[in-house]
Structure formats: C-alpha cells, structure tokens
Amino acid sequence: ATCDILIGADSIKSMVRMFMLQEQAGRAEQHGELAEAADLRNPVQPRWSGVITNKTTGECHRRNTTDGRDHETVTQYGTLVDEHELRFLQHIVAYPISHRKFINFAAFDTDHTKEDSFYGESWIRVSNSREIVDLFRDWEPEVKQLCIRSRKVNRWTMNVVRTLPSYASGRVAILGDAARAMTSIQAAGVGQAIEDAWIRSALLSHPLTTLNSVVQVLQIYSRIRLPLASQVAEGSRRNSMYFCTEGVRRRYLRG
C-alpha cells in the first residue's frame, strides 16, 4: 500500500515510530554517525516507569470507618499516600462515582529505582482484591475496607516512551502515545494527544499546504508540539516522584 502522508497514532507500541526511527538511524549509520544512530534507536522500545497501577471499583457504603463516620472518599476526591522507605512508595487515588454508589480507586505501587528498565512480564493482567489487601496490609482499617470491597482489579504496568528527537520524518508523523507515552499521574496524556491532532490537522488543512510542502509542514508540527508535550510528560514524571520526597508520611490529600 502507498499513501501521500502516514500519520501514526498507534499507541505506545507504535510500529510507525519503530520504522520511522529505524529508518533515521540507518541513514545516520550510512553517514558514519554511529552515536546519533544509537540515540535514535534508544526510544524505539517503551521503558517501565517503575509504577504499577491497580485499578478497580468498590461498593460505596456510607459508613466505612471503624468509628461510624463516613469514609472521606465517599464525599470527596482525594489521595492517600504512604512512605515506607524513600525508594518505595504506595498511594491510592479514590473518589465516588455513579451517584456515590461506588468508589473508584487506583492503588499505585512504585519503585523509582526500576525506572527506565524493561518490564519482562505482561503489562496488563487481571488481579483480585486479595493482592491489594496484601499490598496495603499495614495501612489503616479504612483503606483495608476499600480494598476488600474492590471488584475485578486490573493491574497495569505503567510504561513510557523516551523523549524523541522529532515527531516527524519525511512524510511520516506520529502523535499521542506513539510519540510520547507518559505516566498517568497528571491524567494529561489524552489531552496532549488531542492537541497533537488539532495542531497537525490545522497545519495540513491550511490553504498553503501542498504535497510539495508537506514535509516542511510536518516538521513545523513537530517543532511546535515536541517541546510543549515533552514538558507535560516530564511534569507528570516529576509529580510521581514528589510523593517520594523525604519526610512524606501517610495522610489524606483533599483534591
């Protein structure tokens, strides 16, 4: 199959990204630029951020605490954080949904010493409440009650894509997770993908854009989006690490 322009929006395991970078690396090697070729191949495979997210929902009972009070997650959005050691972190983001019938929460298990490694096991698997209960066994009874009432648990390994040198090469461009998969700590990934698509479509639909100028147009798209989106991705990464700051102790952070 042939096309005038190829836009890759094929997620974190993007084949378009892989072939685009491999082609660029091959050209660099032909010119004897071996270090540049290695840098181009570096972001081909996603890397583990060191974060595992256990996502689930639980039944929302009005009185979830041991002293008869409403559990704080019944009435408001919040984050429960805990630090056992500086390198290892667990926290839960929890909030009510479906007219307060259920509590939606994500239990994060983090080891930033594993950042930038390759996760060898399956990225996504179905777990159960027992694993979350065991993970948070030293926490308050209120947290344990949330874990016990959880339904099917989806265990997600949070992988990311290293910063690319460009989002475009020739008549090929990538966007969204294909260009820049990031951690979900700031919930900004989808918004950045929408901005990618909006800028790219605005440029490609411009009256001055032609097939002869499309290579330059896609480079303009890359120069606009790469620095801004990379800044958001780095902000999400740093936000995850802020929980590991020395002196952080278990507390409820109201959203």
Domain CATH number, residue 57: 3.30.9.30
**Strand, helix or coil for residue 82:** strand
β partners of residue 78 = 94, 254
Q: Tell me the two tokens of residue 238.
A: 């740093």
Q: How far is Cα 83 from Cα 2, in angstroms, rounded to an integer?
A: 54
Question: Is residue 86 scored above 70 in pLDDT?
Answer: no
- How far is it, in rounded angstroms, from Cα 94 to Cα 75? 10
Amino acid identity, position 228: L
Residue 112 DSSP label: G
pLDDT in tens, 185-203: 788 899 999 999 999 999 9
The answer to whether residue 253 scores a pLDDT higher than 90 is no
Q: Structure tokens of 83?
A: 């630090």
Per the structure, the complete domain to which residue 86 belongs is given by 48-160
Q: Around Cβ 178, how many Cβ atoms within 10 Å? A: 26
**Locus of tokens 């929890």:** 94
d(CA 81, CA 130): 20
226 and 175 in a common domain:
yes
Contacting residues for 178 by C-beta, under 8 A, at least 6 apart: 8, 9, 10, 11, 12, 14, 16, 17, 161
Q: 222 in a domain, yes or no?
A: yes
Last residue of a domain, one of 129, 160, 191: 160
- Work out the pLDDT band at 63, boundaries 50, 70, 90: very low
Cα end-to-end distance, the chain, whole Å: 50
Q: Are residues 76 and 144 in the same domain?
A: yes
Whether residue 142 sits in one domain with residue 97: yes
pLDDT digits (tens, 9 = 90+) for 205-220: 999 999 999 999 999 9
The answer to whether 243 and 194 are in contact (CB under 8 A) is: no
Q: Is the dihedral of CA 238, 244, 247, 251 positive or negative?
A: positive
Task: Check whether residue 59 and residue 149 sit in a common domain.
Answer: yes
pLDDT above 70 for 133: yes
Please name every residue paired with 102 in a beta bridge, in sequence order, or none if there are none. 59, 97
Is the per-residue pLDDT at 255 higher than 70?
Answer: no
d(CA 34, CA 28): 7
> Mapping DSSP to helix (H, G, I), strand (E, B) and coil, where does residue 210 land?
coil
Q: How many CB atoms lie within 10 A of CB 81?
A: 20
- My answer on whether 148 and 101 are in the same domain is yes
- The C-alpha atoms of residue 19 and residue 32 are separated, in whole angstroms, by 20
Q: What's the structural domain count of the chain?
A: 2
Per-residue burial over 179-203, b if 16 or more Cβ lie within 10 Å, else e, is: bbbbbbbbebbeebbebbeebbeeb
- Helix (H) or strand (E) segment spanning residue 161: none
At 182, is the pLDDT very low, low, confident or very high (cuts 50, 70, 90)? very high
The chain-wide mean pLDDT, for the chain, equals: 82
| One domain for residues 116 and 76 | yes
Question: Rounded mean pLDDT of 22-30?
Answer: 94
What distance in Å separates the CA atoms of residue 116 and residue 182, rounded to the nearest whole number?
Answer: 12
What one-letter code names the amino acid at 212? N
